[in-house]
Structures are given as C-alpha cells and as structure tokens.
Structure 1
Amino acid sequence: MKKLGVVAAGLFVAYGIVRLVDGRDGEHGPGRAWTVGHVLFLVGILLYGVVLVRARGLLRARHAAGTAAVVVGFAGVAAFARVFVVDLIVGFRAEDHAAMSRIGDEYERWPGDLGIYEPLYNVGPLLFLAGLLTLAVLLTVERQLPVWSPVLLLVGFVLISVNLDLMPLGGALLGLAFVSNTTGSRDRRRTSAAL
C-alpha cells in the first residue's frame, strides 16, 4: 500500500509539473502537455483507488469506518476520473482553447443526464480526501502509519485545493505521508531485540 501511495502521489507531482509547463502561455490545453498531464493524474487517482482497498485490508480491527471510508473514497475517485476522462475527450476534440469551452459544454452531463455531475465535481475531491484520510487515521491509531501521515495528507490536499499550481508540492506531501513506517513499530522492534 505504501509503495502504491508514493507512486500515485508521484504521478500527481508529474501532472502538476506538466500542468505548469502547459500553462506557460497563460492557457491550459489542448495539446500534448494537456493529454500527458491528464493521463498521469488519471492513472494516479485510479492507483489511489487500489490504495484505499489495500489500506482497508491492513486494518487489524475490522472497523465499519474502514469499509465506509473505502466506499466514500471510491465515490471521490469516480468523480475525479469522470472529470479527467471528459477533459481528455475535450482536449482530443478541440483545436484551440476557445473550442475547449464550447465542446466541454456538450459533456456537462456525460454519461447520461443524471443531474449529479455538478455536485460530484464539487464534492468528489472532498469524498476522496475523507475516505483516504479516515483510513490513514485508523492506520495511525494502529501504529501502522506515523502520526504525521494524516497531517501531510490533509495539508497536501489543502494546497492542491487552494491553487492547482501547487500540485507538485501538494503531491509531494501526499507521497511523504506514505514514506515511513511508524516510530512506534521501530521502537517495539528495538525493545524486543534488547530483551
């Protein structure tokens, strides 16, 4: 789970860097950078879906909260994926930035006119964060993640939410949240070895 979390976060960082390169002219997309960046993010968010499942599997206690966190997190992953798939389709179809807005309107309710896409667009990232953060807190309580992991996840997402130009920094913090084992686990191993 931890390696996947780092890889997924690395893809977010890469997306953020490509996005900054794409925006040098003051506009984002369409073009190669738009497509590459969106594919990187899409793969990253799908990997986070796997992280959610694996994090739930690592819980020693079978919390109902862990299962709920996976369901909520998946809703967020689905919302993110939908936005980025639509962005990719629009980017492929548009000849210039002005056309992207026009073509994007055609996909406002895709797929199907369910009337849920606008709320999901706004709430989806919060659902993903809530699911991942809940699992991180539960793993921290069980001393499988360090105490600072949930904090780094939260700060990383806040940075990304404040300004997408901060995606490389926010993504790096998301990755750091998965880097280390807990000091508690290491201390227990040292104590056992000393005895």
Structure 2
Amino acid sequence: MNPANRLAQLSFTAGPAALLGGWFLMRPIDGDPQPGPWWTSAHVVWLIGFLMLGLMTLAMRGLAGPVRGGRRVAVEAVTGIALFSVAANLTGLVIDLYAGLTAADEDAMRALMTQVKGYPGVELVVYSPGAQLFFGAVLALAVILAALRRVTAVSAAITAGGVVLVGAATLMVGRHTALAAVGMAVMWLGTLLLGRGRTGVVEHDHPVPRLTGRA
C-alpha cells in the first residue's frame, strides 16, 4: 500500500480518536485550565489529532473525485472552511500549551489565556466560532459525499449524528460532559466508515478514488 494512502486512511480513525483521547485525559482536572501533565498531555494529543483531521479533510476532498460545476464549488468551499477551522484549532492548542507550560499556577494560566483572547479577533477566529466550524464542515462534506454516492448514506448519517451530539453538548450542557464524549465516539465510528468509501460506485464513467491501493 502506498504510504500516503495508508496515512490518509489512518486519519479517518486517528483524528477523531485523538479528540476522544484528549477528552479522557482532561477528566482528572475536570476540563479546567490547570498547568500540569494532564493539561499538557491532553493538548499534545489534540494537536496531533487536528493534524490528522486536516489530512482527513483533504482525503474527503479526494473522495469527491472528478466532479465539476456547482458540486466542485461546494466541495472546495466546504473543504476550505474545514481547513481554516483546523488551523484555528491548532493555533488555539499551541496557545493553550504555551500557557500551561509557562504559567506558575492556575491563576497565572487563566490570566495569560484571558490576555491572549483579549487581542482583537482572537476569541472569534481562534476559539469559539472559528474552532467549531470544523464540525459543521465535516458534516457538510459527509452529506455531499453521500449525495455524490462516494460514501454510503449510513456512514454519512452516523458522522452527522456524532457531530450533532458534540454540538448539542457544547451549546447546551458543556463540552466536558459525557454527552460530548458520546458524540465524539459516534463521530469516530462514522468517519471510520467514511474512510472506506463506497467501492464499486461509478459516477459519469469515472471510478471513485480509493484511499487504499498498491504502490
């Protein structure tokens, strides 16, 4: 198997799994900003996870295949939004890691993070909306791929269900609650299925690109 294809396929499981892994690593400190090994290890896992999610986004774009017109515009636009949000999340994670590694205690860490978020646009672009756009973009990509018959409707539906649960937890009860973990687990299952594509489907005489293959 081509190493690039192997890594792309791995991203469908490793990225979402890292989101869930970081969530569990934050449990000993109840998700609160506290300098120490739990904060650092969780954010390192999330950092790796979002790098993999960026690769997963590009792989999903590749699954769309040789489409044209409005469908190509939709794929490229949603991919761009997802990658923008991946960059926002990576930036936020680097900031949080720096704060956790340099602050003497919890109060100093909170003060540093508040100071950074106080810069114009940081809260908007790097954290709240900018960071959350990724989940909506992945949902949209999954729906587009299902509409193009590049992936199964079941895989897209499971992915969408996971995203909805994560969104509900974030907006209603808090991203550190068990509902968020359930949503991440469901999303993980959905993206694992998405990564398998839909073998044997042909659109306009062009075979659907596969993530697996021989070098």
TM-score by length of structure 2 reads 0.74
Equivalent residue, structure 2, for 1:75: 84
Aligned residues: 181
Answer yes or no: is 1:174 the counterpart of 2:183.
Answer: no
Equivalent residue, structure 1, for 2:161: 155
Answer yes or no: is 1:131 the counterpart of 2:152.
Answer: no
Tell me: CA distance 1:28–1:116, structure 2 relative to 1, closer, same or farther (3 Å): closer
Which of 40, 51, 54 is matched with 1:46 structurally?
A: 51
Equivalent residue, structure 1, for 2:17: 10
Give the whole-Å Cα distance in 1 for the aligned partners of 2:200 and 2:83. Answer: 32
| 3-state SS of 1:177 partner | helix
What code does the residue aligned with 1:54 have?
A
Equivalent residue, structure 1, for 2:121: 116
| 3-state SS of 1:179 partner | helix
Equivalent residue, structure 1, for 2:4: none
Tell me: CA distance 1:138–1:95, structure 2 relative to 1, closer, same or farther (3 Å): same
Tell me: CA distance 1:52–1:187, structure 2 relative to 1, closer, same or farther (3 Å): closer
Which of 151, 158, 164 is matched with 2:175 structurally?
A: 164
What code does the residue aligned with 1:11 have?
A
Answer yes or no: is 1:37 the counterpart of 2:46.
Answer: no
**2:23–2:42 contact (8 Å) kept in structure 1:** yes
Equivalent residue, structure 2, for 1:191: none
Which of 55, 63, 67 is matched with 1:58 structurally?
A: 63
Give, in angstroms, the shift of residue 186 of structure 1: 7.5
The structure where helix makes up a greater share of residues is 1
Of stretches 138-147 and 87-96 in structure 1, the one that deviates more from structure 2 is 138-147
Question: For 1:86-145, what per-residue CA distance to the aligned partner results, in whole angstroms no more than 9, with x for missing partners?
Answer: 110110112221221112133225xxx5x2222222212342123222221122123332
Q: Identity of paired residues, percent?
A: 25
Of stretches 33-42 and 121-130 in structure 1, the one that deviates more from structure 2 is 121-130
Give, in angstroms, the shift of residue 187 of structure 1: 10
Tell me: CA distance 1:151–1:2, structure 2 relative to 1, closer, same or farther (3 Å): farther
Equivalent residue, structure 1, for 2:206: none
Gaps of 5+ in 2: 1-7, 203-215
Tell me: CA distance 1:98–1:158, structure 2 relative to 1, closer, same or farther (3 Å): farther
Give the whole-Å Cα distance in 1 for the aligned partners of 2:75 and 2:100. Answer: 37
Tell me: CA distance 1:2–1:146, structure 2 relative to 1, closer, same or farther (3 Å): farther
Which of 108, 112, 136 is matched with 1:103 structurally?
A: 112
